[in-house]
Amino acid sequence: MNNIPYYGPAEVKASLKYEELVSALELALADFSKGPEGGVSQPLRATAEVTKFNGFLAAMPAYVSSRQALACKLVTFYPNNTAKDLDTHMAHILLFDETSGEIKAIMDGEVITAMRTAAVSAIATKYLAEKYEILAVLGSGVQATAHTEAFCKMFPIKKVNIWNHRTEGAEKLARYVKESLGIEVQVFTDVQSCVEEADIINAATFATEPILKEYSMKPWVHINYRRSSYHLRILTAVGAPRPQWQELSAELMNNSTVYVDSFLSATKESGDVIKSGAKIYAEIGEVILGTKKAEINKKTIFKSLGLALEDAVSARLVFDVMEQNKKTAKP
Ligand SMILES: NC(=O)C1=CN([C@@H]2O[C@H](COP(=O)(O)OP(=O)(O)OC[C@H]3O[C@@H](n4cnc5c(N)ncnc54)[C@H](O)[C@@H]3O)[C@@H](O)[C@H]2O)C=CC1
Ligand SMILES: O=C(O)C1=NCCCC1
Residue 77 CA: which ligand 2 atom is closest? Answer: 8
**pLDDT band of 230, cuts 50, 70, 90:** low
Interval 240-284: pLDDT, tens = 999 999 999 999 999 899 999 999 999 999 999 999 999 999 999
Classify the complex by whether its ipTM is higher than 0.90, answering yes or no. yes
Under 8 Å between Cβ of 128 and 287: yes
Torsion angles phi and psi, residue 256, rounded to 5:
-125, 160
Q: Which of 35-44, 96-105, 113-122, 291-300 has the lowest mean pLDDT?
A: 291-300
pLDDT at 231 over 80: no
Q: Which residues does residue 300 pair with via DSSP β-bridges, in sequence order? A: 234, 257
pLDDT at 154 over 60: yes
What is the amino acid identity at position 189? T
pTM: 0.96
Pocket test for ligand 1, best of 29, 149, 206 (most atoms within 8 A of CB): 206
Interval 219-225 mean pLDDT: 46
Compute, in angstroms, the gap from residue 248 CA to the centroid of ligand 2.
Answer: 18
Task: Among the bound ligands, name the one nearest to the CA of residue 117.
Answer: 1
Q: Assign residue 58 a region (left: φ > 0; alpha: ψ between -120 and 50; beta: otherwise).
A: beta
pLDDT at 217 over 70: no
Pocket test for ligand 2, best of 113, 142, 262 (most atoms within 8 A of CB): 113
Rounded distance between C-alpha atoms, residue 270 and residue 317, angstroms: 28
Shortest-distance Cα residue to atom 38 of ligand 1: 239
Rounded distance between C-alpha atoms, residue 274 and residue 269, angstroms: 8
Q: What is the mean pLDDT of the chain?
A: 93
pLDDT at 34 over 80: yes
Percentage of the chain exceeding pLDDT 90: 85
Would you list the DSSP string of 111-165? HHHHHHHHHHHHHHHHHH-S--SEEEEE--SHHHHHHHHHHHHHS---EEEEE-S
* Count of other CB atoms within 10 angstroms of residue 206: 17
pLDDT at 302 over 50: yes
Interval 92-150: pLDDT, tens = 999 999 999 999 999 999 999 999 999 999 999 999 988 899 999 999 999 999 999 99
- Is the distance from the beta carbon of residue 271 to the nearest atom of ligand 2 less than 6 Å? no
